[in-house]
Amino acid sequence: MLEIQNTLVSLDIVEQYFCCNLESCLGECCIEGDAGAPITEREKEELEKVVPVVEPYLLPAAVDVIRQQGVSYVDEEGDLVTSIVDGRNCVFTFYGPGGMCLCAIEHANRLGLTDIQKPISCALYPVRVTEYPSFTALNYHKWKICKGACIKGRKEGIRLYEFLRAPLIRRFGEDWYEELALTAREYLKSIQ
Pair 108, 46 in one domain:
yes
- Distance from C-alpha of 21 to C-alpha of 97, rounded to nearest angstrom: 15
Pair 6, 67 in one domain:
no
- 117 Ramachandran zone, left/alpha/beta (phi>0; psi -120 to 50): beta
- Distance from C-alpha of 103 to C-alpha of 31, rounded to nearest angstrom: 11
Question: If residue 95 lies in a helix (H) or strand (E), which one and from where to where?
Answer: strand 93-95
Three-state DSSP class for 90?
A: strand
Residue-wise pLDDT tens digits, 165-181: 999 999 999 999 999 99
Pair 161, 187 in one domain:
yes
Q: Please indicate, yes or no, if residue 24 is contained in any of the structural domains.
A: no
Are 188 and 15 in contact by the 8 Å Cβ rule? The answer is yes
- 27 Ramachandran zone, left/alpha/beta (phi>0; psi -120 to 50): left
Pair 107, 38 in one domain:
yes
Q: Please indicate, yes or no, if residue 42 is contained in any of the structural domains.
A: yes
Q: Please indicate, yes or no, if residue 165 is contained in any of the structural domains.
A: yes
Does the pTM surpass 0.85? The reply is: yes
* 44: containing domain: 33-117
Pair 3, 60 in one domain:
no
For residue 126, cis peptide bond before it (omega within 30 degrees of 0): yes
Q: Which of 158, 178, 160, 182 is nearest to 169 (CA)?
A: 178
Pair 171, 99 in one domain:
no
Residue-wise pLDDT tens digits, 9-38: 999 999 999 999 877 777 777 777 677 889
Residue-wise pLDDT tens digits, 113-146: 999 999 999 999 999 999 999 999 999 999 888 8
Q: Please indicate, yes or no, if residue 27 is contained in any of the structural domains.
A: no
Structural domains of the chain, count: 2
Domain boundary pick from 67, 87, 117: 117
Pair 134, 185 in one domain:
yes
Pair 37, 93 in one domain:
yes
Pair 8, 68 in one domain:
no
Domain boundary pick from 74, 90, 117: 117
